[in-house]
């Protein structure tokens, strides 16, 4: 599989994605930035209801009550506490790692959805890293039966993620 660079100058990051993948950016009508979705169009054609995807969301850090900038651990814990854990969301693994020379946190989750009497199992990994201003959240989502196929692709994309400082104003 051939990978090509994807550089987003507005959001100051670069990654490598499979050459045939598509980046779906939010439409101009959307009031709030919802992130960028990267997915395999061939998989989308085979199953129009769902394709494995990688989502990148970037948002400004909220200042703590004392106006200090929260740490990665604080932001990560807040995120983790916001999840409604239970039968639908099960924590599988947590780790601290390095992405693009920055400390990052990763949360692996098993999701179970029951829609139209059809039970579907998904696996997600949520990566979080920061710079001085932004929180970068990278989410990978795959169905259980596609996990072995897509996880190595997602891992390679995530490992290629880099914040490009010299693009910032």
Give the mean pLDDT of 5-11.
88
Long-range contacts of 153-158 (CB under 8 A, 24+ apart): 153/1, 153/18, 154/54, 154/125, 156/3, 156/16, 157/15, 157/16, 157/17, 157/38, 157/54, 158/54, 158/99, 158/125, 158/127
pLDDT at residue 152, rounded to an integer: 95
Tens digit of pLDDT for each residue in 99-158?
999 999 999 999 988 766 678 899 999 999 988 778 899 999 998 999 999 999 999 999
The pTM (predicted TM-score) of the whole model is 0.86
**Domain 3-18+52-167, what architecture?**
3-Layer(aba) Sandwich (3.40)
Block residue for tokens 């997602």? 154
Q: Is the dihedral of CA 94, 16, 120, 148 positive or negative?
A: negative
Q: Is the pLDDT of residue 92 over 70?
A: yes
123 near 105, Cβ under 8 Å? no
| Domain boundary assignment for the chain | 3-18+52-167
Mean pLDDT along residues 29-47: 78
Confidence of residue 166 (pLDDT cuts 50, 70, 90): low
> Is the pLDDT higher at 31 or at 128?
128
**pLDDT range class, residue 86, cuts 50, 70, 90:** confident
| Mean pLDDT (the chain, rounded) | 85
């Amino acid at each position: 599989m051939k990978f090509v660079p994807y550089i987003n100058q507005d959001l100051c990051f670069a990654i490598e994605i499979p050459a045939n993948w598509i980046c779906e950016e939010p439409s101009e009508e959307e009031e709030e930035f919802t992130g960028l979705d990267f997915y395999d169009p061939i998989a989308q054609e085979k199953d129009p209801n769902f394709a494995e995807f990688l989502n990148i969301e970037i948002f400004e850090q909220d200042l703590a009550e004392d106006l200090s900038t929260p740490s990665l651990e604080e932001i990560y814990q807040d995120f983790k506490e916001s999840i409604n854990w239970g039968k639908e969301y099960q924590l599988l693994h947590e780790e601290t790692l390095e992405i693009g020379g920055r400390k990052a946190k990763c949360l692996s989750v098993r999701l179970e959805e029951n829609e139209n009497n059809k039970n579907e199992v998904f696996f997600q990994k949520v990566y979080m890293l920061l710079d001085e201003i932004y929180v970068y959240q990278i989410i990978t989502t795959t169905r259980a039966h596609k996990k072995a196929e897509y996880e190595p692709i997602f891992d390679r994309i995530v490992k290629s993620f880099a914040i490009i400082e010299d693009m910032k104003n």
